[in-house]
A = this chain, B = another copy of it.
């Protein structure tokens, strides 16, 4: 794949951002590309997911809407059919002689953010701004998916000896897709796993050999149910679900910080009530907690549930709390970090190599890393710097497309090095 093909692919994906389990167009587009390669196996949709471990799957009508949208955008019908019900993602397998099984994991989903319309926002200037209004590739997963394909090509064209598996994972933003992919069986024979992310405040030309400091994360959905009443005539007959939710939000942010490390909490999506003159009967709160370790995440989770339950009780409401996605913490193994570091240092286009840096966010790649490590394998999470004008998860985020090629070089280089040095 040429550099211009890679950019074209990235831009096409950028035009079609899709949220968790709705990556219909994205998966179809990738499969379309993958099928032109000489692969040993290509698994799609239900074949790459442990169905019971899927979390945060949207309602059927949401799935249908995105499915339809993908069809209208020109996604291949035969691939779409295989993805029905929100089974997205793919795993491509390349076998070249004897050698270790090395895997690369990239994620492919977008975010519910409205992309900037500023003339100097590159996707506007370059005419590849999101066509799914209200959604956006604001975290670079369009580049990740492209890198995944690029690495596959680079390794295929090399003298690689062993097996390469590229995991195109759905639903990372919801920390919802990592676990079902980790539990799909496709990792069982993997000896080495690399995962990757662009940007993260590292400039173009910089490589981070081992990212650590993943915050373990847990997403939740709380449904408050009270009793409605006429807000003017009978206020005392209502049990106000919105008031319960507001009290919960105020106190969720007040969960004590922890001396053992960083924690996070966010009330990310709220909705409640039906009319200004009715005491709200229902309110829902979608949020998340994080911790520098899995224990810290559990600490936050436990306190958050206590806040949610007490806030409901305070206003005479019921609350139903469900966990919609969860990711543990994880660490990059020294041996892989050294290999990546050496490969990066040897690359003329790499201007600086950072041995280790902390993410400060969450990632469900940790599920895949843990799975491999539990099986006795090694894993590392590699950062590929890219100049990004706006911060991650903001409407002016964009990637420096030159860093896609550099990422492919470093990652494929590391894979070759692993295969040759650790047969």
Contacts and interface: CB of A to CB of B under 8 A. Distances in A.
B232 A324 contact: no
Contacts of A173: 275, 277
A274 B256 CA distance: 18
B236 A257 contact: yes
A133 to B, nearest CB: 12
A246 interface: yes
A10 interface: no
Contacts of A217: 232, 277
A264 to B, nearest CB: 5
A123 interface: no
A215 B236 contact: no
Nearest to A252: B254
Given A235-B264, A243-B251, 5 more contacts: A235-B256, A235-B258, A236-B258, A266-B276, A278-B393
A234 interface: yes
Interface residues of A, number: 85
Q: Among the interface residues A253, A258, A260, which one has the most CB atoms of the partner chain B within 10 A?
A: A253
A99 interface: no
Interface stretch (A85-93, A150-158, A309-317): A309-317
Interface stretch (A34-42, A345-353, A356-364): A356-364
Q: Among the interface residues A219, A273, A283, A395, which one has the most CB atoms of the partner chain B within 10 A?
A: A273
A250 B246 contact: yes
B316 A313 contact: no
Interface stretch (A23-31, A45-53, A58-66, A286-294): A286-294
